[in-house]
Structure 1
């Protein structure tokens, strides 16, 4: 398997969240809340599943990450307990510096958006995940959710 996979995310983590009230409005204000997640590797590291729990929020999330050997890319597939629907996947890979960037198309409040997930600052006991949206046809990203992971 080329590139860096999600082996770092295996196990239990505490997660500090910062999330914009409106994912496309950088001035809408940030909410901060804690969470925790437990992840597990499958298929010799080519698949990873985790559930994230937000005790003060009204939902949980589930992510399925799959490595595609033919393309050398990962697909990241997200669903949450509010809808049970699987969101369109984002797709990408980790660079030599260990940063992962994953892109896809989705919609937000009925508006088409480009989605970017970025993994960075990956170390033995820490990692950072960032989500950003760009309205279709625009080049401007709005970072709207940041998770700071620390090993539980």
Structure 2
């Protein structure tokens, strides 16, 4: 059962190692790796949160707003990159008893309709993993195109 506190593990400050495909739909396009810093704060008594990721070597930041729908018990995750300032369509889903979350939605990439999937894995109090994949065929096949490995920053 999903709860308003599923993302409590993410509150605080993190260091991230990003790996992403150069072309999100081409698994042979090559991977790039870059660091980021991240912070996350709780809103609505845990039923929402906001975060910002800063990627200084890539020259951009990103914001995620997560909202828990108490009626459906689904989370709606919205992403906005600093390059455009637009809010992408949400991915919607929930966490399971194994502390693994799956979230899906529809979007476009370079003019092509894609299904988007985020997977969250809570590994420990100090480590988490996120990945994104696109499907150009409605979820029949997936191209994993971005991963993030989170390491909690020591309390200051």
TM-score (norm 2): 0.94
Contact 2:2 2:96 in 1 (8 A): no
Distance 1:75 1:137, change over 3 A: closer
Q: In structure 2, how many angstroms separate the alpha carbons of the residues matched to 1:135 and 1:44? A: 37
TM-score (norm 1): 0.96
Deviation at 1:127, TM superposition (A): 0.1
Equivalent runs, 1:1-152 vs 2, <5 Å? 2-3=2-3, 5-137=6-138, 139-152=140-153
Deviation at 1:121, TM superposition (A): 3.8
Q: In structure 1, how many angstroms separate the alpha carbons of the residues matched to 2:29 and 2:69? A: 37
Deviation at 1:138, TM superposition (A): 5.6
Unpaired segments ≥5 residues, structure 2: none
- Paired residues in the alignment total 152
Q: In structure 2, how many angstroms separate the alpha carbons of the residues matched to 1:107 and 1:32? A: 24
Q: In structure 2, how many angstroms separate the alpha carbons of the residues matched to 1:95 and 1:67? A: 15
Q: In structure 2, how many angstroms separate the alpha carbons of the residues matched to 1:73 and 1:31? A: 32
Q: Secondary structure at the match of 2:58?
A: coil
Unpaired segments ≥5 residues, structure 1: none
